Structure 1
Amino acid sequence: MVRIVDVAKKANVSTATVSRVISKPDTVREETINKVLRAIKELNYHPNVLARQLRTSETKTVIVVIPDISNPFFSKVLRGIENLASANGYQVLLGDAGNDSEQESRYLDMLRQKKADGMILLTAKMKPEIVEEMANEFPVVLACEYIEGSSIPTISIDNVSSARKATEYLIQLGHRRIGTISGPLDSVLGQDRLKGFYQAMARYSISVDPVLVQEGHFNYESGFNLMKKFLALSRMPTGVFAANDEMALGAIRAIRTMNLRVPEDISIIGFDDIHFSSIFEPALTTISQPAFEIGSKAMELLIMLMDKKKIEKNQYILDDSLVIRESCSKINKSLHV
């Protein structure tokens, strides 16, 4: 087995210099770094990670906790996290909370046990005081969701504004009887996107029929089932805002089972712009989040916290955009009298 002393001998430097090249290259001259890296490559040397951890108390591992691993939206966020983590020598440990606050707490325990150097939470179902307590002791970043009034660094879009934009698009197409399938109302995303829906309706002085507001679970099945409820009404909605794309796709499927068409009979707009939304038929009009950038920024902030660097502000709001495709059209008044 190749040892650090072998690398030092081949590069004609001390073992301490080899160690600095591996752990703190900014303290070593470029010429020396190149010599050591050549020796490492030629000898196929792999540093003893466990020994390094014992010396530095670092694991070079971060935990990313997501609410639901089956939700395709998070794949882009995770790619952004992994991209920057890998470039900085960190490995990512993925934790699926399964929308369970107790499971989230178990991942926090891994920080307490020093099994990771920091954590990115893509969910915030735990009691705020528990998360705040952990963030005061360990590097923690929130992404996608947030905790009201928290000082924890947070990256997201403005979900209220985005939902308002989506609903206003339906209104501008002439729709007035508009339904919404919200996310779970015990989540900040569910609350904010429903709030944006109500704001848009109020801005245009459009009354909301309570039966057209249904709470979903951010999954395909709830979109399908709740759209079925809308379709059973004597006065169906002409347009529906679903608080994420999976529910929107489920809603479209339900409409088709009744031999109705999207958007000719009912317009559907979603939220997130997952990949499948662009290849589904009809292609889904939706709100696009900069998911990769959210993940990348979250990892950037976490690295700063782990390096004990100062972060300029606690909340970063990234821009979203309305992606207009085929699932919405102007209301056909002859079909809705």
Structure 2
Amino acid sequence: MRERPKIKDIAEKAGVSVATVSRALSGSALVTAETRQRIHDLARELNYRPNVSARNLRTRKSMAVLLVVRDVGNPFYLDILKGVEAMAREAGYAVLMGNTENDPVREIEYFNMLRDGHADGMILMTGKLPPPAGNRSGSWNHLPVVVALEMIEGSGLPHVQVDNVGAARAAVEHLISLGHRRIAHISGPVPEPMSVYRREGYRLAMREAGLAIPPGYEVRGNFLLESGEDCCRTLFDLPQPPTALFVANDEMAYGAAHELRRMGRDVPGEVSVVGFDDLYLSKAFYPPLTTVSQPRAEIGRTAMGLLLSILSGGSLGTGEPIVLPTALNIRASTAPPEA
């Protein structure tokens, strides 16, 4: 039987040391990008597979990272997972996805997995840190954790996010530019920071346009489709309902548009709707949804790159967050208001 290829086989063929090959395969910045690529190409050519058990025993690493989300069934996370997994695979890491469903007990369990060495790092997308479990004193912010998308203010952890205020402001400015003056907002679960910042962007655009926000024009949802329906009913029970809705995520926007149709109101003929996220279904939705597009795969790649830097000895740091750009995709769910 043919002997399994070893690192020294790659080193001989590449004309470099075994240490250089080892560093290149682990993604070390001590090896030039050109040499790393050449070594990865040779590893594929020789069908080299690392001895994971021996490596883990030697390095005392699990070579796995956790991606922890609120709801694994939400399609929003799929592109982020793809970005995380692409970066992780290049560095030899596996990605385990954790689903908390907003359950504090499960949140603690994932942090304990990290603390106890079952994973080497975590990308956290729940928007909160759990309290320490049992008699385990201290906070979690000494652990290798990167917060992605949803913010945890005051945590001291590195963040990868978007400018939620600016993106929401641009979405509402689009509605104002069409001639809408009665614009309502369906927010996420305030007081979570992401929901607060998107609401602030809405308020800022209205204030800068000299537009008052009538009582009842801000309603609070929970990012789920059903809450979009419920909030829409609340808004259209008002004596003077809005002509446009800025909704804090696409899923609630779908619910609001469904409810408008049930009420016999045309979108966008009578009511314009703008969402936030640009889920892949937003193009296929009827009418196609105008929405803020977030660079989800890039968020995943950036967060994993930051985590790899920490795992290779970089500091957790308390610097400014990495802020990635958004874009407003204008589709058929927005139009000028009826005369």
Superposition TM-score, scaled by structure 1 size? 0.85
3-state SS in 1 of match to 2:200: helix
**Distance in 1 of aligned mates of 2:123 and 2:293:** 22
- For residue 69 of structure 2, what is the aligned residue in structure 1? 66
**Distance in 2 of aligned mates of 1:11 and 1:234:** 74
- For residue 279 of structure 2, what is the aligned residue in structure 1? 274
**Distance in 2 of aligned mates of 1:221 and 1:142:** 27
Shift of 1:148: 2.2
- For residue 323 of structure 1, what is the aligned residue in structure 2? 329
Q: Is the 8 A contact 1:99 1:125 kept in 2?
A: no
Q: 1:283 is matched by which residue type in structure 2?
A: P
3-state SS in 2 of match to 1:24: helix
**Distance in 2 of aligned mates of 1:226 and 1:103:** 29
- For residue 93 of structure 1, what is the aligned residue in structure 2? 96
Q: 1:8 to 1:260 in 2, by over 3 A?
A: closer
Q: 2:123 is matched by which residue type in structure 1?
A: I
Q: Is the 8 A contact 2:274 2:333 kept in 1?
A: yes
Q: 1:229 to 1:292 in 2, by over 3 A?
A: same
Superposition TM-score, scaled by structure 2 size? 0.84
Deviations 1:89-131 (A, max 9, x none): 110000011123332221110011100111111122225999x
Shift of 1:230: 2.0
**Distance in 1 of aligned mates of 2:11 and 2:291:** 60
Q: 2:334 is matched by which residue type in structure 1?
A: C
Shift of 1:10: 8.2
**Distance in 1 of aligned mates of 2:168 and 2:194:** 10
- For residue 53 of structure 2, what is the aligned residue in structure 1? 50
Shift of 1:163: 1.1
Shift of 1:67: 1.6
Deviates more, 1:167-176 or 1:305-314: 305-314
Q: 1:74 to 1:8 in 2, by over 3 A?
A: closer
Structure exhibiting the larger radius of gyration computed from Cα positions: 1
Q: Is the 8 A contact 1:3 1:45 kept in 2?
A: no
Q: Is the 8 A contact 1:180 1:240 kept in 2?
A: yes
Deviations 1:163-198 (A, max 9, x none): 111112112211111111100114211111111111
Q: 2:262 is matched by which residue type in structure 1?
A: T
3-state SS in 1 of match to 2:216: helix
Q: 1:189 to 1:11 in 2, by over 3 A?
A: closer
- For residue 213 of structure 2, what is the aligned residue in structure 1? 208
- For residue 123 of structure 1, what is the aligned residue in structure 2? 126
Q: 2:164 is matched by which residue type in structure 1?
A: N
Q: Is the 8 A contact 1:154 1:316 kept in 2?
A: yes
Q: 1:9 to 1:111 in 2, by over 3 A?
A: closer
- For residue 225 of structure 1, what is the aligned residue in structure 2? 230
- For residue 262 of structure 1, what is the aligned residue in structure 2? 267
Are 2:164 and 1:159 equivalent residues in the alignment?
yes
Equivalent of 2:253, from 248, 256, 266? 248
Deviates more, 1:81-90 or 1:231-240: 231-240
Deviates more, 1:194-203 or 1:58-67: 194-203
- For residue 134 of structure 1, what is the aligned residue in structure 2? 140
Shift of 1:47: 4.1
Q: How many residues align?
A: 321
Q: Give the structure with the larger helix fraction.
A: 1
Unaligned runs of 5+ in 2: none
**Distance in 1 of aligned mates of 2:77 and 2:191:** 19
Q: Is the 8 A contact 1:100 1:125 kept in 2?
A: no
Shift of 1:205: 2.2
- For residue 177 of structure 1, what is the aligned residue in structure 2? 182
- For residue 24 of structure 1, what is the aligned residue in structure 2? 23
**Distance in 2 of aligned mates of 1:154 and 1:226:** 31
Q: 1:91 to 1:10 in 2, by over 3 A?
A: closer
Deviates more, 1:44-53 or 1:236-245: 44-53
Q: 1:177 is matched by which residue type in structure 2?
A: R
3-state SS in 2 of match to 1:332: coil
**Distance in 1 of aligned mates of 2:242 and 2:225:** 19
Q: CA RMSD in A?
A: 3.0
Of all paired residues, the percent bearing the same amino acid is 40
3-state SS in 2 of match to 1:211: coil
Shift of 1:2: 7.8
Q: 1:45 to 1:168 in 2, by over 3 A?
A: closer
Q: 1:213 to 1:41 in 2, by over 3 A?
A: same
Shift of 1:151: 3.0
- For residue 111 of structure 2, what is the aligned residue in structure 1? 108
Q: 1:192 to 1:169 in 2, by over 3 A?
A: same
Q: Is the 8 A contact 2:275 2:292 kept in 1?
A: yes
Q: 2:321 is matched by which residue type in structure 1?
A: Q
Unaligned runs of 5+ in 1: none
